[in-house]
Structure 1
């Protein structure tokens, strides 16, 4: 008898679960479900219940039973036991059980419909609007240094930008570029990028790190490459390229007014992609 009762309870719970799932899906897909007949909607709900949720429901139910502590009670007399059992059965309203079962079904469905957090790779592709070629300045964006004079002393890759940078190289044809004053600065930059592991992913090679002696040289590089996106910290270059490049990102500590509709701004490359 106890086993039959348990099966009936499970059947009722699955029925409530299916009804709520159908309602939830009608809210989630309002147009498509209106065009379906009741048999199609029932099939969708039944399939989702059978494949996705039933095993979780059974698992959570079994886990709950296992977690209940066992209490040993002295064996009561038969007359006392019968009286207590009848009293307990009468004291539990049927509405309470029904509400509890409905709540369990609702909670499982609500958990399934929670929004899924996108991965960094998905965010990069979305932010870049499916652009496949990107050019990016090094100073102040990839490197901690801010001037060509700094590169004559040292070159340091910003650790916070590495994850985003490597994700861009997986999806885009990336070119890094910078103005330098001597050959030693070039070697110093390449060594810093190599030590940081930028070239190990296979998406970026040393031949795609370009150097020039003037800011105008960098502008010329960008126009020749014709990228979908250019990332720079020099507002003058951003302005000059606005009518030639589809999208630009101006990286600056202080947010500037947009010089054009296709120019975006952010305090850092990683903040633009929300990776902070």
Structure 2
């Protein structure tokens, strides 16, 4: 440990303690106390370890001096007092402690799952259209030819299935379109990696049927690429997300808009 007086060392500890107290008191207003109690202990351990690990610089051996035969009024009667000034090492130790504390209190980036839950306001049931949201295709006519799951939406979709009762739905023109849609979802791993089952993928022949599905299920959130359906459901559904590549006026205060599903969550 750096050679300086015990009183100086105690002053350093007090300064660090005051800093930690101010930090933790602010954090406790918004964070769980038990978590930050553990964090405080971790900070203390890290700081103590780094402080004692740092080798002290070897002190230069001072040549012995013969004390003068007679003392004068300007001579210090304690020669060692000048060798160890009170602030020796204090600034460097305090700077190192400050660096350790700042590194520890860097904001932790939330996980995708935490972001999804926060954005959905902890909603427990979600309904979502396939075309224009999950699929690259945007019309029932395109779905007759092929169904392509957008790779960029998979992570968000799977996070939703972890804590939400998710229903996917679409308007189709024939049975072949329905088969293509289910096959594309299965190949993307949605039925095996997430909590979604095929029974929760619903198909109908008209947009009115899709609107009816949503109203019967009474979800906390409905996600759709049709502005008309979002407008019709605004009075009945708590929250909606309207997916549109073009910027339009907001439909209602409870209807959010985004260029894509993943962009709504991760920007």
| TM norm structure 1 | 0.77
Match of 1:176 in 2: 168
Look up the SS of the partner of 1:199 in the other structure. Answer: helix
Aligned-pair distance for 1:116? Answer: 2.1
Q: Does 1:60 align with 2:50?
A: yes
Match of 1:73 in 2: none
Aligned-pair distance for 1:25? Answer: 3.0
Aligned-pair distance for 1:134? Answer: 0.6
Count of aligned pairs: 243
Aligned-pair distance for 1:216? Answer: 1.2
Aligned-pair distance for 1:60? Answer: 3.1
Match of 1:33 in 2: none
CA contact (8 A) 1:20 1:105 kept: no
Match of 1:161 in 2: 153
Look up the SS of the partner of 1:273 in the other structure. Answer: helix
Aligned-pair distance for 1:129? Answer: 1.3
* CA–CA separation in structure 2 for the residues paired with 1:245 and 1:4: 66
Deviates more, 1:263-272 or 1:147-156: 147-156
Q: Name the Cα RMSD after superposition.
A: 3.2
| TM norm structure 2 | 0.79
Match of 1:220 in 2: 212
* CA–CA separation in structure 2 for the residues paired with 1:125 and 1:48: 24
Match of 2:19 in 1: 20
Q: Does 1:123 align with 2:115?
A: yes
Aligned-pair distance for 1:93? Answer: 6.1
User: Against the structure 1 CA distance between its residues 180 and 63, is the aligned structure 2 distance closer, same or farther, given a 3 Å change threshold?
Assistant: farther
* CA–CA separation in structure 2 for the residues paired with 1:48 and 1:216: 54
Aligned-pair distance for 1:106? Answer: 2.4
Q: Of 112, 137, 140, which aligns to 1:148?
A: 140
CA contact (8 A) 1:16 1:105 kept: no
User: Against the structure 1 CA distance between its residues 93 and 195, is the aligned structure 2 distance closer, same or farther, given a 3 Å change threshold?
Assistant: farther
* CA–CA separation in structure 2 for the residues paired with 1:81 and 1:127: 65
Look up the SS of the partner of 1:166 in the other structure. Answer: helix
Match of 1:135 in 2: 127
Structure 2: stretches of 5+ with no match in the other structure = 30-35, 65-80
CA contact (8 A) 2:220 2:239 kept: yes
Look up the SS of the partner of 1:21 in the other structure. Answer: helix
Look up the SS of the partner of 2:192 in the other structure. Answer: coil
User: Against the structure 1 CA distance between its residues 150 and 18, is the aligned structure 2 distance closer, same or farther, given a 3 Å change threshold?
Assistant: same
